[in-house]
Amino acid sequence: HYSRRSRAMRALGSRLCAVSLRTGLRHGLRCVASASTAPRGSFATLKPDDLQKLKQILGPQNVMTPEEVEREDLLRYNQDWMGKWEGRSAAVLKPATTKEVSEILAYANGQNLAVVPQGGNTGLVGGSVPVHDELVLSLLRMNHIEALDTVSGIVTVQAGCVLEQLDQYLAQHGFMVPLDLGAKGTCTIGGNAATNAGGLRYLRYGSLRGNILGVEAVLADGQVVDSLSALRKDNTGYGLPQLFIGSEGTLGVITKLTILCPPRPKAVNIAFFACSSFEHVQRTFALARQKLGEVLSAVEFCDRMAIDFVLKREAGTGVR
C-alpha cells in the first residue's frame, strides 16, 4: 500500500545518507488502532545522557519527551494529519538555527539514533511521523524570512516558515509565492520543497522545483551543504539544490531556501463552470488556455461526489 516512489526514496536514502537519518514513509507506519509490524532495525534507544546532550544543544524548553509533557501535546508531532498513523517518538526536538540542526544530526549520527524531519506535518501519506520511537526534528521554530530582493523578487527564507505567512509577507511588497495549497495555513515551505509540492498555481508558474534557486541543507552527519544561490542563471558546478527538492528528507534536512517569486496580480477573477462530463471539462480547459493565455493562473477540477461530500459535511454552516 505504498508508492514506488516511496520505495525508491527509502532505498536511495539508505545508500547515500548515513543510517541515523530516515524518513517515516508510509511503509511500516502503524494504524492508530494497531501496532507497527515494520522492523525497528539496529538503531539505538534514547538514553538519559543523550537527552541531556540534546537539551544542552537546544535548551530544555525546546526538547519534548513523553515523560515531561502530556500525550496530547506530543500527538501533533506523532500522528499524521488524517489521524491514520501514529508513532511513539522518544523526543521532539525544536531547533531554531542551522547550527542547531547540524549539532543534533551530528550527535544522533554518532549515537546511531534515528531521526525523522518534520515541517507542518500536513502530508497525507504518513511521511513526516515516526515509524517507531525516532527523534522528531521539528523545524517550526525556523520560521524567519531573512531577505527579499524587491527588484528580482528573490526571497531567502528558513524552511519552517508557514506557506501562508510567507505569501502574506510577499503580498506587502507586490509579490507572491508561486505555490498555493489547501494546507497553506499549516504547511511549511521547507516541507513543500522536500516533497516538491505542486498546488493550484502549477499551471502558470510551474513546479516549485523550477522556482527554487538555492537550498541550504544539513546531511545526516551534520555537514552543512550551502547552495543558497540567488542567481536565476547559474551554470557553475552541479545543481545540488535539485537533489534535495523532492527527496523527502532522505538525503538531508532542508534548512533554508532562495525562491524566485512572481509579481502579484493586481486583480483576480474567479469563474465556476458546471460541466456535464469530464470530456467537457477538458474542452473547457483547453479553450480557456487558448483564449486567456498567461492570464489563466489556476485551474481546479471538482467532481460531483466531492461537492456532495463538502455540502453534507458543512450542512448547517451556511455553505451551499
For the CA atoms of the chain, what is the radius of gyration? 21
Three-state DSSP class for 128?
strand
Report d(CA 186, CA 189) in Å as an integer: 10
What are 226-249's pLDDT values in tens digits? 999 888 777 777 888 999 999 999
As to burial, measured by CB atoms within 10 angstroms (0-12 exposed, 13-18 middle, 19+ buried), residue 124 is: exposed
pLDDT tens per residue, range 297-311: 888 888 999 989 988
Q: Report the share of the chain in percent with pLDDT over 70.
A: 88
pLDDT reading at 128 higher than 70: yes
| Average pLDDT for the chain | 85
58-67, 186-195, 202-211: lowest mean pLDDT where? 202-211
The C-alpha cell that represents 80 in the structure block: 499524521
Q: What is the mean pLDDT of residues 9-15?
A: 37
Q: Which residues pair with 148 in a beta bridge?
A: 155
Distance CA 33, CA 37 (A): 13
pLDDT band at residue 320 using 50, 70 and 90 as cut-offs: low
CA–CA separation, 245 and 233 (whole Å): 18
Average pLDDT over residues 252-275: 92
How far is residue 166 CA from its own chain's centroid? 14
Q: Which pLDDT score is estimated for 25? A: 35
Sign of CA dihedral 185, 80, 300, 286: positive
Band the pLDDT of 14: cuts 50, 70, 90: very low
- Whether the pLDDT of residue 28 is over 60: the answer is no
pLDDT score for 30 = 42
* Higher-confidence position of 5 and 166: 166
Q: What's the gap between Cα 110 and its chain centre? A: 26
Nearest to 12 by CA among 198, 248, 240: 248
The half-sphere exposure of 98 on its side-chain side, counting CA atoms within 13 A, is 21
pTM: 0.81
Measured CA to CA, the distance from residue 107 to residue 54 in angstroms comes to 8
Chain-centre distance for alpha carbon 313: 27
As a whole number of angstroms, the distance between CA 280 and CA 278 comes to 5
Phi, psi of 306 (to 5 degrees): -65, -40
Dihedral sign for Cα 62, 60, 91, 6, please: positive
- Could you report the per-residue pLDDT of 62-94, keeping only the tens digit for each? 999 998 888 888 889 999 888 888 899 999 999
Number of H helices, E strands in the chain: 10, 9
The sign of the CA dihedral 84, 88, 94, 95 is: negative
Distance, in Å, from the CA atom of 182 to the CA atom of 178, rounded to the nearest integer, reads: 14
Cell of 37: 509490524
Q: Among residues of the chain, what percentage have pLDDT more than 90?
A: 58
Instruction: Return the number of other C-beta atoms located less than 10 Å from residue 165's C-beta.
Output: 16
Residues 6+ apart with CB under 8 A from 205: 178, 179, 211, 262, 297
pLDDT band at 36 (very low <50, low <70, confident <90, very high): low
